[in-house]
Amino acid sequence: MEFGCLLFLLGSSGVVITQSDTAAEDTDWSDVIVTSVGRAVTLPCVDWPLMGFVTINWKRKSPGMHDWKLVLSASEKERFFGSAAKAYMQLADSNFHKTGNFSLRFAPQSEDEGRYSCLISQQKKKLREKIILLVILTVSVFPSSPVPQQSTLLLTAEVSPGFAISRVTWLSPGGTPLRMAKTLGVVVAKLPQIRPNDQGKYICHFHPRGNSSTPLFPFSVDVAVHGVNVVSFTNITHGVLKSTASVSQYPLTITCSPKKGDYVLLYWRPPDKKSEITSLIYEYDRWRDRTVTAQSKTTPQLSLDGLKSSPKDGLFSFLVHPRLNDGGLYICEVFLDDTVFSQRTQLSILQVNAGPSLSCLVLTCQYTERSQVKQVLWKHQNKSRTLNWSALNPGRLSTEVVLPPTKETAGIYTCSMELKNGLKIKAVYTITLPPKENTESPGSVSPPYPESNSTSFLPSLSALLLLVPLVAAVAGVLLLRQKTLSRRGIEQSLSHYSGEVENIYENPEDVRQASPQSSVYMDLKPRGDDDVYKELDRSP
């Protein structure tokens, strides 16, 4: 299957032909006729029968020319051809002088387009003149019917002269307007990945410019799809394998072909898999404006990148905010007619997590698509300090920070990953010392922040590190409440205390600011060996 090289300039469901697209011409005609090469046509010139000696002169002026040339001249007594006459051009009615039908009939060739003048004169006096613009249409279908399945169907329409048409529209068998493009005066509609349900009658509508007795000229073509034959794409160009990496949740663009295409398919192989089996997770057809995605919790959540590319114009790239397991191999295939460009991108993801463990904080650096990773390291901002780390599982590197943090252990912890191609990325985690006025607090962790071309999305440990002073504050409230109740001997319930919280963890500040008069008794119920107090129940 072969296609000509087409440079598309415009895409829409109905291509509008403007004066800038064609040579500027005056709309001095009184009628427009659209036909195709070899299809018999009649240029109408009808009047009431005239009495006396009448002469008919048919003349033609080619597009862009200023001079008229005689095509045919006839009278009641004699009939002859002028210097520009063609034998296949004849009067539609030889008894024109009796019927008043002065129309010209012929099967035009490609060079017969242009203005035609029907001049009726009597005794060298002009009686009537009508100018008709003849437009030659060329409609083609490729490949020819029956079309192989999965091939790209091209429906092209070209009119000459182009200035005679204001708009061209292709309709599907169901009457839906097709997206089109205009290139070098040719209007093209495409249907990639043709299927049997796409067969039927396709109609091309031409809307003339200027005066016309017919507001719309429809031309139809029948398209059949082969029931068995499926096209095989052999003209495939493979781009150089790209190796890249990103921090988890940091936006990343996966680029496809640098050239325009008709549609794109994106395949994905999960990270750290030895098998070369990939799954189709995204496809987009710009001609049908149709998108199909794989709906799964395990597949990457991505979309076409409209900022760095123009999907509707045929330039494709994908935007992804990758999770840890969204690394792996991405294969982007861009199809243009019968050619394919394939781009493979291998992606590694870096992610930092933090979690408590008895008397220390464990910082874990995880990474996927390990085959392209050269090394992963934990470093402290104090370069003279050496960190101890462990790698019990592949793709997982951990280091421990003893709590509470000290001047030596606080600061910025950086997990750096270097790929075999030299690309380096890093994620940072910062541990800060407690404020000087709050010596009871063992320390705090500042919110994570991005560094260089990476970022870190880690949970704050503020709640955990504030646990000790929080329990102390609660204990003080309980002792005060118990003493007040023993003095007064009065029972109180929670029902009449507006704004009281059911769980101390919901608003610890309320407890710190509680006055002795509004204090209540609470039972602290431990729920596990390694969890201090998960829930605080209050009772009168």
pTM: 0.71
Tens of pLDDT along 129-171? 999 999 999 999 999 989 999 999 999 999 999 899 899 999 9
**What does residue 96 show for φ and ψ, rounded to 5 degrees?**
-55, -30
Length of the chain: 540
Instruction: Work out the burial of residue 46: count CB atoms within 10 Å of its CB; fewer than 13 is exposed, 13-18 middle, 19 or more buried.
Output: middle
Task: Give domain limits for the chain.
Answer: 31-135, 348-459, 467-538
Q: Which CATH number fits domain 348-459: 3.40.50.740, 2.60.40.10, 3.40.190.10, 3.40.50.300?
A: 2.60.40.10
Residues 6+ apart with CB under 8 A from 21: 162, 182, 185
CA 35/CA 71 separation, integer angstroms = 19
DSSP state of 214: -
pLDDT digits (tens, 9 = 90+) for 335-394: 999 999 999 999 999 999 998 888 899 999 999 999 999 999 999 999 889 898 898 899
Residue-wise pLDDT for 468-522, tens only, equals 333 333 333 333 333 333 333 322 222 222 232 233 233 334 433 433 333 333 3
Q: How many whole angstroms separate alpha carbon 4 and alpha carbon 143? A: 12
**pLDDT of amino acid 509:** 43
Tokens encoding 283: 């496809």
Q: Is the pLDDT of residue 304 over 90?
A: yes
Domains 31-135 and 348-459 share a fold: yes
What is the share, in percent, of the chain residues with pLDDT greater than 90?
Answer: 57
Task: For residue 349, count CB atoms less than 10 angstroms from its CB and return exposed for 0-12, middle for 13-18, buried for 19 or more.
Answer: buried
CATH entry, 31-135, from 2.60.40.10, 3.40.50.2020, 3.40.109.10, 1.10.3720.10: 2.60.40.10
Q: Calculate the CA dihedral of residues 438, 443, 449, 452 and round it to 10 degrees.
A: 120
Q: Which residues contact 265 (CB under 8 A, 6 or more apart)?
A: 280, 282, 283, 332, 333, 335
pLDDT tens-place string over residues 443-472: 444 434 334 333 333 333 333 333 333 333
Q: Give yes or no for residue 326 having a pLDDT over 50.
A: yes
